[in-house]
Chains A and B, each alone.
Chain A
Amino acid sequence: MSWVFANVEQIWELTLTHIGLSIPPIVLGFLLSVPLGWVAHRYAVSRSILLTVSGLLYTIPSLSLFLVLPAILGTTQLDPVNVIVAMTIYAIALMVRSAADGFGSVEPSVRQSATAIGYSEWGRFWAVELPLAGPVLVAGMRVVSASTVSLISVGSLIGVSSLGYLFIDGLNRQFTVEILTGIVATIIIAVIFDLALVGLGRLLMPWTRSSAKAQRRRAAARVEVAA
């Protein structure tokens, strides 16, 4: 414990770096997968292509992706951009499917009645489909967020600093407390992100609050096996 107090500053700094690396992939992943997921949901051909490609991308082991990306992006090996891009790719790979399922979960009768009362396709997307797909999107984002926060630390193996540094340093110094500190800090970040996503969901989708438990259960069931 005394080690933690003595190194509070370094731990805090690594935590901030970790958060800084986690947020861009989560946000970018969401912004890019929603339109992709909608296209996948809307057109059968694009569905099989997009879901196959995202499935394959998700198959690539993280360490491999970190290492191969510089060769493609022209970045240096130690550039944090590699980690951010890699995590964004995973986020999209996970999220496109959730988004497609989310749009698929909108009752066809609701969609048809929206068209019948005069929504354009564009208007219907914003006013009807996106909000109703919301619970599944949130469930998907929770998986994305948890796996991003946990995988970022692998980047330290190739020299991109984060809380993962504590794991490597702890191993080299045979110091369990340091590793445990890193694990706990990572979990705290994951939990805070998770609560933020749930809170955001409730704030933006007040109609899901009453049946929040049932909704959560249903949405969670959809994505549970995903990761």
Chain B
Amino acid sequence: MSLFADAFAWLFDAANWAGPNGIPIRTLEHLLYTLVTLVAAGVVGVTLGLYIGHTGKLRGAAVIVTGSLRALPTLGLLFLFALWLGIGLTPVIIVLAILAVPPLLAGTYSGIEAIERSTVDAARAMGMTEWQILAKVEIPLAMPLIVSGLRSAALQVIATATIAAYLPLGGLGRFVFDNLSLRRWDAVIGGAIVVTVLALIVDGLFALLERSVVSRGVRAARSRDGSAAQPARKSVAADAA
């Protein structure tokens, strides 16, 4: 347990909070990588997901791609792209984005698929154009699952960005890899703790966001003791891991 005590001593040492290799700067770097990746992956994943969800086309292909990407070893992919594209930020962002696309894609199209067919049918029957159906019906109702996909993607990226520091790159992984070979466990574990706390905070923020994008009307349906509303809630929650 003294390892923990040392790690906390390292964490609360003011020297580790200052300068370009301080915890705040490294955290900002880490968040910056995450943000850039999420924007890139979001454009691709959400757009594709909306297309698949709205048209029902390519769904089978999406399931296969999503499933097989999961089996790809992150570490190998990261190093492979680093060799191909050279050490730097670009290969890392590409790999992180590849990892972030599947949850975003799956969250988006399953969010649309979870909408009652009759709701979309009625929207079309009353004269909404396909774009209006997407913008006024499908996206608002799928929003909680889209955010849930974003949340999974963000956590995945935060974790993998730590590994990317091996390449070498900035971010919180630096604390781990700079000190691992030196066997300075206080800094290694301290760095690991900072990453964990960051992940938990981001997770919590997304959890709040996820809750706030549920429309009030849908929330009313859930809180109501309707037999139809109950399973819907369950399946939405089930997908939100």
B64-83 vs A, Cβ < 8 Å mask (1 yes, 0 no):
00111011111111011011
Q: Is A201 an interface residue (CB 8 A)?
A: no
Size bracket of the A interface: 35 or more
Residues of chain B contacted by A186 (CB below 8 angstroms): 71-73, 76
- Please give the residue numbers on chain B whose beta carbons come within 8 Å of chain A beta carbons, in ascending order: 1, 3-4, 7, 63, 66-68, 70-77, 79-80, 82-84, 103, 106-107, 110, 113, 145, 148-149, 152, 155, 158-159, 162-163, 166, 173, 176-177, 180, 185, 188-189, 192-193, 195-196, 199-200, 203, 234-235, 238-241
A117 at the interface (CB under 8 A from B): no
Q: List 7 A-B contacts (CB under 8 A).
A: A59-B155, A63-B159, A63-B163, A64-B192, A186-B72, A224-B66, A225-B106
Q: Which residues of A contact B145 (CB under 8 A)?
A: 225
Expressed in whole angstroms, the minimum distance between the Cβ of B157 and any Cβ of chain A is: 10
Known: A143-B70, A176-B80. A153 touches B162 (CB 8 A): no
Residues on the A chain within 8 Å of B84, using CB:
176
CA distance A55 to B155 in the complex (A): 11
Contact A179 B70, beta carbon cutoff 8 Å: no
Q: A71-B1, A146-B70, A183-B72 are in contact. Are A58 and B162 (CB under 8 A)?
A: no
CB-CB < 8 A to A222: which residues of B?
A: 235, 238-239
Contact A183 B166 (CB under 8 A): no
Q: In the complex, which of the residues B7, B71, B193, B241 contacts A97, with contact meaning CB atoms closer than 8 Å?
A: B241
The answer, among A61, A158, A167, A226, for a CB contact under 8 Å with B180, is A158
Q: For A61, what are the chain B residues with a Cβ–Cβ distance below 8 Å?
A: 158-159, 162, 192, 195-196, 199
Known: A59-B203, A150-B74, A183-B76. 17 other contacts (CB 8 A): A55-B241, A58-B241, A63-B195, A64-B195, A71-B7, A104-B234, A153-B75, A164-B75, A167-B76, A171-B83, A179-B76, A186-B76, A222-B235, A223-B241, A224-B63, A225-B149, A226-B239
Instruction: Please give the distance in Å from B237's CB to the nearest CB on chain A.
Output: 8
> Contacts A56-B203, A183-B72, A225-B107; is A70 near B3 (CB within 8 Å)?
yes
Residues of chain A within 8 A of B72, CB atoms compared: 150, 183, 186-187
A186 to B75, CA, bound (A): 11
* Interface residues as binary, A143-182 with B (CB distance below 8 Å gives 1, 0 otherwise): 1001101110110111000011011101100101001101
Most interface-central of B1, B4, B70, B148 (chain A CB within 10 A): B70
B158 contacts which chain A residues (CB < 8 A)?
61
Interface residue? A19 (CB, 8 A): no
- B80 x A183 contact (CB < 8 A): yes
Q: Complex formed: what's the CA distance from A167 to B149 in Å?
A: 29
* Cβ < 8 Å to B, chain A residues 114-161: 143, 146-147, 149-151, 153-154, 156-158
Given contacts A58-B241, A67-B176, A104-B234, contact A179 B3 (CB under 8 A): no
Between B75, B84, B234, B238, the greatest number of chain A beta carbons within 10 A of the residue's beta carbon is seen for: B75
Beta-carbon contacts under 8 Å, A29-52 to B: none
Complex CA gap A58/B156 in Å reads 10
Tell me, rounded to whole Å, the shortest Cβ–Cβ distance linking B82 to chain A: 7
Contacts of B199 in A (CB 8 A): 59-61
Chain B residues whose C-beta falls within 8 Å of the C-beta of A68 in the assembled complex: 189, 192-193, 196
